[in-house]
Amino acid sequence: MEILSSASDGITGQRLISRSLGGTELNWCRAVPGGTGITVFALLLSNAFPLPLLRSSLRRLQLSHPLLRAYLPSASAASSSCPSPPILISPFPSDQIEIIPSDLLPPLSAAIDEPPVSLLHSIVEHEMNRNPWAEPVDGQAVGSFFSTIYELPESGQSILALRFHTAVCDRASGFAIVKELMDLLRRGEGGEDKEEEKEGEIILPVEDLINTEDSWKPFWARGKDLIGYSLNGLRSANLRFEDASSRRNSEFVRFVIDAEDTRRLLAVCQAKGVKLCSALTAAGLLATYASKSLNSNQSEIYSFITLIDCRKDLNLPPNNKHIGFYHSAISNTQTICSGEEFWEVAIRCHNAYANAKKNKKHLTDIGDLNFLMCKAMENPHLTPASSLRTALISIFEETVNYDELFEQLHELGIEDYMECSSVHGIGASVAIFDSIRKGQLDCACVYPSPLHSRKQILEFVENMKRILKEGCCGADGGFN
């Protein structure tokens, strides 16, 4: 891959550096304008940070991580048949922060007949649906990173929202960015921020960092897998669609399982050799089946996507600052029928993705899944009800443990923290962002509305919670 110097491009009047987009990055540039891949990290502050310190810290973040200074091509450029458009990286970071006063806060998103949501919840939803990449001015490339402060009615409280184009920031990157930002703010407040500002390295896209032997797949095997993925997509069932024609936006439902039940659940997962992601997937599949009120002799096939952080499998530079999108997906299906036992389904889900990962399908199939994702975006009628739903559930292989981070957050006056990404373009019906916070399992379940309603997803996650609690509390695990 080539790194080039370029002349002023008319975006900022500055001299830019460019490199070619990777295949996965290019797909995100196609997906984000439609509404999938807007990643948001939001922090609830009891006391606002001094603006000069916050601006300085954000500037240093962008110096350390050049992709945060990137300008990304428009959807039309990304979808053209021409060679891959470049990603343009400005040599100068921006310290611009949008400030929203309390009298201009977005309205709470829940309707009157629904459970109320917090301001933090509402603002995260609002940020997931702010999409400067959908209609760029004059077709120009758009930046990859935006920061906003929402002033709250409570004296001194505010919310800091960091919004990223997913092509430059996956979940692991966002977690690392928040930790680094906290360190910069802490050092700055203590007057010890004397280190020389160093320019970070521009890292290659994921496809260019895979070992050749790990990415190779015979031609006929690739064709067979493409046909298999396509057929699985056609025969898979979904949650019932409530409104498949109206314009969509992303919403989420948050659910928490108390510390004692979380401890039990994790202990049973460990005893059975099952990752938590597989237990959550199994609960979601069973909850979906329960929502259908099917006859006892009926079964349905559900697809699920497990997102794998590939960093350990890549030829990355020897440092821990690998900010970008370095996840891949493993797609699988499971047949669910009446009377399924929860842990049996969880073990099947675990074995399906674990065997695929052992066979390195998370590396060999990146191009195949990107191709199918692109074709679905170009031809939404190939998906059920033109919904652009490619799976029932998507979930990360590894659960993020925020307990250590929360100690640092509280020291800086940060009361709560949330992160998730939009899904109302192409994607799963429910994208699960699971974490451990204060010993509790805390999940944000993002869904496209009004394709699915908040009431429908609330019922779905309540069923998931019930199934998980029964599974970890010694119930028989039967499901009817």
Q: Report whether pLDDT(477) > 50.
A: no
- Report pLDDT for 480: 42
What is the model's pTM? 0.91
**392's tokens:** 């029932």
- Report pLDDT for 12: 45
Q: Which of 323, 309, 310 is nearest to 67 (CA)?
A: 323
- The answer to whether 121 and 444 are in contact (CB under 8 A) is no
pLDDT for 24-62, tens place per residue? 999 999 999 999 999 999 999 988 889 999 999 999 999
Q: Report whether pLDDT(6) > 70.
A: no
What is the percent of the chain where pLDDT is above 90?
A: 62
Amino acid at 312: K
Q: How far apart are CA 196 and CA 313, in angstroms?
A: 32
Q: Report whether pLDDT(450) > 60.
A: yes
pLDDT for 90-135, tens place per residue? 888 888 999 999 888 877 655 545 667 788 999 999 999 999 998 7
- Could you state, in order of their start, the residue ranges of all structural domains in the chain? 3-189, 206-472
Q: Report whether pLDDT(2) > 80.
A: no
- The answer to whether 250 and 388 are in contact (CB under 8 A) is no
Q: What is the DSSP string of 302-330?
A: EEEEEEEE-GGGB---SSS---S--EEEE
Q: What is the DSSP string of 201-248?
A: P-PPPGGGGB-HHHH---HHHHHHHHHHHHHHHHH-B-SPPS-SSS--
- Report pLDDT for 112: 46
Which is higher by pLDDT, 403 or 226? 403
Report the DSSP beta bridge partners of residue 389. 427
**302's tokens:** 């559900």
Class assignment of domain 206-472? alpha beta
Q: How far apart are CA 22 and CA 1, in angstroms?
A: 9
3-189 shares its CATH topology with 206-472: yes
Helices 366-378, 23-31: axis angle to 10 degrees equals: 20
- Report pLDDT for 197: 62
Q: How far apart are CA 146 and CA 63, in angstroms?
A: 15
DSSP state of 153: S
What is the percent of the chain where pLDDT is above 70?
A: 88
- Report pLDDT for 11: 45
Rounding to the nearest 10 degrees, give the CA dihedral for residues 184, 435, 420, 372: 120
Residue range 287-298: mean pLDDT, rounded = 90
- Report pLDDT for 94: 87
pLDDT for 302-322, tens place per residue? 999 999 999 999 998 877 678
**311's tokens:** 């960093």
Question: What value, to the nearest 5°, has the Cα angle with vertex 192 and ends 187 and 193?
Answer: 70
Q: How far apart are CA 461 and CA 258, in angstroms?
A: 15
Q: Which of 418, 463, 412, 7 is nearest to 188 (CA)?
A: 412
Lowest mean pLDDT across 1-15, 189-203, 367-381? 1-15
Reduced to 3 states (helix: H, G, I; strand: E, B; else coil), residue 457 is: helix
Q: Report whether pLDDT(8) > 50.
A: no
* Structural fold of domain 3-189: Chloramphenicol Acetyltransferase (3.30.559)
Which is higher by pLDDT, 479 or 280? 280
pLDDT for 369-426, tens place per residue? 999 999 999 999 989 999 999 999 999 999 998 887 777 777 788 888 899 999 999 9
The b/e string for 339-354 (b: 16+ C-beta within 10 A; e otherwise) is: ebebbebbbbbbebbb
Q: How far apart are CA 40 and CA 128, in angstroms?
A: 6
Amino acid at 30: R
- Report pLDDT for 9: 46
